[in-house]
């Protein structure tokens, strides 16, 4: 599963709407906004055709933006949730093929440094997300080597953080995701 340009979407938001903030400050802003970003949805499909959407080009966009009550913090939350929702959408498609994620191992970089992002995925999929003491660069290096056993490549990596479902707010996450999914399916 690949979602084109999700990191680019978050970088675009930061660089255009909050250039004086770092990603940790954006995370703190997003955490202050309720799940569902007060009806604001974001679709991160701004980098061409998406395979999981039948190779259609939907484009990146916000839906439901209200100038009277949405601020950069809402847009940040919507962006993080929208990227997470697209990941969940893809994982649900994989589940229909019989691939069920119970544990998702991620490196200590990129979008998974956001608890808003990672908790959204964990809550909606029921999968535990384990952040390992690694990064995408290690994954690329492992892929370039001749590993005879997949488990061998990861046996020495330590889990440094874990995200699990936010069971207290599962209904809010499901409601926000269903709203997002309905819009995507209307566009398809």
58 in any annotated domain: yes
63 phi/psi in degrees, rounded to 5: -130, 135
Domain that holds residue 153: 6-187
pLDDT digits (tens, 9 = 90+) for 82-125: 999 999 999 998 888 888 889 998 888 889 999 999 999 999 99
Answer yes or no: is 13 within a domain.
yes
How far apart, in whole angstroms, are the C-alpha atoms of residue 173 and residue 150? 34
> pTM of the prediction?
0.89
- What is the pairing mode between strands 59-63 and 41-45? antiparallel
- 36 found inside a domain: yes
Residue 1 counted as domain residue: no
What is the CATH number for 102? 3.30.420.40
Do 46 and 183 touch, CB atoms closer than 8 A?
no
What are the residues facing 33 on neighbouring strands?
Answer: none
18-22 contacts, C-beta under 8 A, 24 or more apart: 18/72, 18/76
Q: Are the beta carbons of 41 and 179 closer than 8 angstroms?
A: yes
Beta bridge partners of 129: 104, 163
Domain total of the chain = 1
Residue 155 domain flag = yes
138 or 4, which is more confident: 4
pLDDT for 49-80, tens place per residue?
Answer: 777 787 888 889 999 999 999 999 999 999 99
């Amino acid at each position: 599963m690949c979602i084109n340009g999700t990191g680019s979407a978050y970088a675009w938001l930061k660089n255009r709407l909050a250039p004086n903030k770092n990603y940790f400050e954006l995370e703190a802003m997003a955490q202050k906004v309720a799940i569902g970003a007060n009806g604001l949805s974001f679709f991160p499909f701004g980098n061409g055709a998406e395979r999981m959407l039948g190779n259609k080009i939907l484009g990146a966009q916000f839906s439901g933006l209200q100038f009277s009550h949405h601020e950069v913090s809402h847009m940040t939350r919507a962006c993080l949730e929208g990227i997470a929702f697209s990941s969940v959408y893809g994982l649900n498609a994989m589940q229909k093929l019989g691939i069920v994620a119970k544990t998702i191992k991620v490196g200590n970089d990129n979008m998974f440094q956001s608890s808003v992002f990672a908790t959204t995925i964990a809550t909606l999929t029921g999968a535990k997300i384990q952040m390992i003491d690694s990064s995408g660069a290690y994954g690329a290096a492992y892929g370039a080597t001749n590993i005879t056993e997949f488990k061998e490549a990861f046996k020495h990596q330590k889990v440094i953080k874990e995200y699990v479902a936010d069971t207290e707010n599962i209904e809010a996450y499901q409601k926000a995701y269903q709203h997002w999914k309905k819009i995507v399916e209307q566009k398809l």
